[in-house]
Structure 1
Amino acid sequence: MQSWKLGALLGALMLVSSAAATIEEDLSTVLKFGPRVTGSEANEKARTYFEAQFRVLGYTTRRDVFTYPRFDDLGSDVQVGTRTLAGRALEGSTGGEVRARAINVPGVGTTEDFRAVNVQGQVAVVQRGQIPFLDKAQNALAAGAAGLIVVNNEAQELQGRLGERVVLPALTVTSTAGAALNDGQQVTLSVRVRDGEVRGVNVVAFKSATTRPEILFGGHMDSVVRAPGANDNLSGTVAVLDIARRVANTPLATQSYFVLFDGEEDGLRGSRAFVKDNATAVQGLKAMFNFDMVGVNVTPLRVTGEGRLVGLAQQAAQISGTARDEGGSDQVPFAQAGIPTLFFHRGLDVNYHQPSDTVADPQLIRATVDAALKTAGAALQLTPTGR
């Protein structure tokens, strides 16, 4: 076992008492680990903590391992004099360090824009917008640039993808950082990347007698780089765990799976792997409930999903809902497999995917759990849809 993994295991276990924790304790404990990017030490610490919590409640847990390719930014930046401006590597660019002058290209980096300046051997600086990142990078490369900086149109970090490999160090910076790049100024562009396989791990909890679950409660445990992920999606993860706490000694526990998905932020990787690798269990489900961003009240709690389930949620829990499949979270692979799904969420808050995503309201999470449990009891009475 790698040393950091052993340390993560021991550290997380030290934080688990012999009694089940509370939502408040879950939040405060896991947030201290930092951003839970799939494959990271913080991700492993969080997983170990949640596994121990399930076991305290009498559940059996297992780990479902899967792998996938991923492009990682290991910490890219632009050095301007004594200042270091943080950046984000464009996915598909190559790593490298370039010491040259920053040349402000007028416009967004079209072929015509590059004709107006000489960027040969220099670092081209272009604005975000109008054309794809790939076109900006290819135009910069064709013009002879040694590196590329794309300036966002707002004071927030920007994560972008080229869509294919371009042999050019390229990154994005915030509008604030872009304003500090003077035309002709000497800079050092450092793009530090890794492109390879990532190991994701889903946590599956169930009562030992559960062989064919009727309902699955799920939420993703991972977050994005530099974002502690309190709302996205520690709030949903904790909601799943709290449902398991509340029903631990009831028949619902033996009818359910509780799944903490990994790799959601990289394209629903964990839920897609679960559906693919657990076909028998998935096809026996009457419902899949997914929880994502339920700890900040941007909008009142609402649900989307299969019509009958939405109707039950409206009737049993008095929450608003729409009978439609809403993409972007872990219920999608289940819906695509023909399973009735219900997606619990409260909308995107201003801290979405930001370092400031550090707060989730325990009372909002409890209210979400209340609504889910009221709906689940009714959902189990439904007859299969004939899939």
Structure 2
Amino acid sequence: MAKLLVAGVSVLSIGITGCTPVLEEQAERGTLLSQAESTITSRRAIADVQALVELGPRVTGTPVMEQARAYLIEQYTRAGYETKTQTFTYPKFEDLGSNITVNGRTINGRALNGSIAGKQSARLVAVPNVGQASDFAAVDVKGAIALVRRGEIPFLQKAQNAANAGAVGVVIINNESSDLYGTLGGEVQIPVLALSGKVGNSLFESQQSQVSLAVNTRQRTVTGTNVIAHLPGVTQPRVIVGGHYDSVPGSPGANDNASGTAVVLDIARNMAQTTLARQAWFVAFDGEEDGLHGSRYFVSQAQPSFLEGLDAMLNFDMVGVNDQLLVGGTQSLTKLTQATQSDISIFGSQGGSDHAPFARAGVPVLFFYRGQEPNYHTPNDKSVEPRLLDETSQVGFNVLKQILNSDTVSVAM
């Protein structure tokens, strides 16, 4: 059997036989959990979410993540699994506090990920439309701070167009009232600040005003840690079940993504006393919010034969808010999921979560998701609905059983 070659992997604990929430014969038949068992599942999952949320924002490289990791290791061990940790490092972009001051009023914003640091005092010039090169040709931004709206073209292109037109800084206003979180995805030699539509739209009335732009950023190396759980001796799983357990700064991350972390843990509990558990690994990924670093590292350290032995990677991200459960990914797996649960909707899965590195490596993937919601990436992401965790756990569990009870899985990307 293939082995996963990882740097910094250590066995932290060998689990003993845990609770038996689902009888083995039920799992083998592929039936839904009973009502009583469903209630227990719901209570366990919401308890996991609450335990993680109470720790505070789970930002990679912070002491809070050590506490979150210890909690997950304890829970997996109680369920009968052994756990391993997989450590990795990466440069992390940090905003130390960025703002723009207009007419004596300081407005706090967020530096776009990748922006250089810089302070500029200059005219504020509103650029028409969304900051295409032709839009900059219509105004004089030389030596000025350009004010542009979000939309149509990438942030990087807006910033490069501004720099090419001679601007000394850029402020991008969200096309919604909420805060704007984003990444440049490339280099530009002027500072770039993002503002919510709520506070930023009024600035379009302040063009030609003298303003002060302060973008305070830095790069530092942080250490992330994946948690891997499996039954003793399972070196080549057929399925990886995962979700990230980190959150963005300032957000306790109930839905994003304590919800997915709890669902993965609950599926592991439900499988623990079945033979199917010997065909699965369960992974809590770190560093997702900074660019899928944990899942990318996991895939990069795996032998090709290990990845080739996988029938599927199931990813759970933001599954505790919004009634409609969505799935995306490999066509054969999305069709299997709809056949198992007819009211599930298929959507065009984007590459913004931990299934993406597996898909790029040729592993069939299935992404469980409930869509955006108002508290996304905010301090208000504090609660989820227990019944939605329960529903997601049951659907994921039953899809997993369908995959593992099949000798082969027909793959259509």
TM-score (norm 1): 0.81
Structure 1 segments unaligned to the other structure (5+ residues):
1-17
Aligned to 1:237: 261
> CA separation in 2, counterparts of 1:380 and 1:362?
27
Kindly tell me the number of residue pairs found equivalent between the two proteins. 369
Aligned partner (choices 55, 64, 82) of residue 33 of structure 1: 55
Quick one: which amino acid aligns to residue 403 of structure 2? A
- 57-66 or 325-334: bigger deviation: 325-334
Displacement of 1:28: 1.7
Aligned to 2:238: 214
Confirm whether residue 24 of structure 1 aligns to residue 49 of structure 2.
Answer: no
> CA separation in 2, counterparts of 1:131 and 1:45?
40
Aligned to 1:14: none
Aligned to 1:192: 216
Structure 2 segments unaligned to the other structure (5+ residues):
1-17, 20-40
Aligned to 1:7: none
Aligned to 2:315: 290
Quick one: which amino acid aligns to residue 280 of structure 2? S
Aligned to 2:112: 90
Confirm whether residue 366 of structure 1 aligns to residue 387 of structure 2.
Answer: no
Q: How does 1:258-337 map to 2 (within 5 A)?
A: 258-279=282-303, 280-299=305-324, 301-320=325-344, 322=346, 327-337=351-361
Contact kept in structure 1, 2:46 and 2:262, CA below 8 Å: no
Distance 1:202 1:144, change over 3 A: same
> CA separation in 2, counterparts of 1:335 and 1:115?
41
Contact kept in structure 2, 1:59 and 1:206, CA below 8 Å: yes
Distance 1:200 1:378, change over 3 A: same
Distance 1:245 1:97, change over 3 A: same
Aligned to 2:32: none
Query: Which string of whole-angstrom CA distances, capped at 9 and with x for unpartnered residues, describes residues 239-281 of structure 1?
Result: 0111122233333333321101123333333222212212344
> CA separation in 1, counterparts of 2:319 and 2:405?
26
Distance 1:113 1:248, change over 3 A: closer
Displacement of 1:231: 1.6
Aligned to 1:125: 147
Confirm whether residue 156 of structure 1 aligns to residue 178 of structure 2.
Answer: yes
Bigger RCO (CA 8 Å, 6+ sep): 2
Confirm whether residue 75 of structure 1 aligns to residue 111 of structure 2.
Answer: no
Aligned to 2:25: none
Query: Which string of whole-angstrom CA distances, capped at 9 and with x for unpartnered residues, describes residues 277-303 of structure 1?
Result: 12344333333222122111242x243
Displacement of 1:365: 0.8
Quick one: which amino acid aligns to residue 200 of structure 1? G
Displacement of 1:234: 1.4
Displacement of 1:375: 2.5
Displacement of 1:115: 6.3
Identity among equivalent positions (%) equals 46
Confirm whether residue 382 of structure 1 aligns to residue 378 of structure 2.
Answer: no
> CA separation in 2, counterparts of 1:366 and 1:204?
22
Aligned to 2:10: none
Aligned to 1:15: none
Q: State the superposition RMSD in angstroms.
A: 3.3
